[in-house]
Amino acid sequence: MSMRKLPTNSKGFTLIEVLVAGVILIITVSAMTLVYRTASISSLTASKNVNFSGSVGLILNTIKSEIRGTNASTALEGSGEIGGVNYTWSSTLISKKGPPARFEPDSGKWVVPPEKFFLWQVELTISSEAKEKHYSFKEISWLAK
């Protein structure tokens, strides 16, 4: 009985080598998929935050314009939407003042100017999807006359 020897010049891979290479490939593809998914979620979250934060300045400018554009001396409020971000605001008058009294040399009397400067407390709520933030700030307005 003679034993046959395998040829030493085989030109293929063994089953074990193919299985190990397949497992390594699957692990690598799975890891890359997880990294891509995490990066995609992070990018989407960052994009939403940038949109939200970028809208805050525009909203503040809009509210300031509305407060300064009216000659009201009572509470003001409003709401709106800018760039997919919703907001509501209300303002309460804190104080009303005028310029300081001045001496009129011709008449020899002190002249007290009318109260035309208003200080407002503004409460602002901004919301977008599941995110909501509250802001509180003071704003000044004045009568044009």
4-9, long-range: CB within 8 Å, 24+ apart, which pairs? none
9 assigned to some structural domain:
no
Asked whether 73 and 94 are in contact (CB, 8 A), the reply is no
Note the pLDDT of residue 30. 96
The pLDDT of residue 104 is 92
Domain enclosing residue 56, as ranges? 15-142
| Of residues 44, 56, 63, 43, the one with CA closest to residue 85 | 56
Whose tokens are 């692990």? That residue is: 27
**45 belongs to a structural domain:** yes
Roughly how many angstroms between the first and final C-alpha of the chain, as a whole number? 122
Is residue 10, in this structure, part of any structural domain at all? no
Would you say residue 20 lies in a domain?
yes
Tell which residue, 98, 91, 37, has the closest CA to residue 68.
91
pLDDT at residue 122, rounded to an integer: 96
pLDDT of residue 145: 66
Strand ranges inside the chain, DSSP E: 76-82, 85-97, 102-104, 109-111, 117-128, 131-142
Name the domain count of the chain: 1
Per the DSSP assignment, residues forming a β-bridge with 95 are: 119
Indicate the pTM of the whole model: 0.68
- What residues of the chain score a pLDDT lower than 50? none
Distance CA 57, CA 65 (A): 12
pLDDT confidence of residue 81: 93
Does some domain include residue 2? no
Instruction: Give me the pLDDT at residue 5, please.
Output: 66
In a domain, 5, yes or no: no
Does residue 7 sit within a domain?
Answer: no
Residue 135 lies in a domain: yes
CA–CA gap between residue 67 and residue 120 (Å, rounded): 9
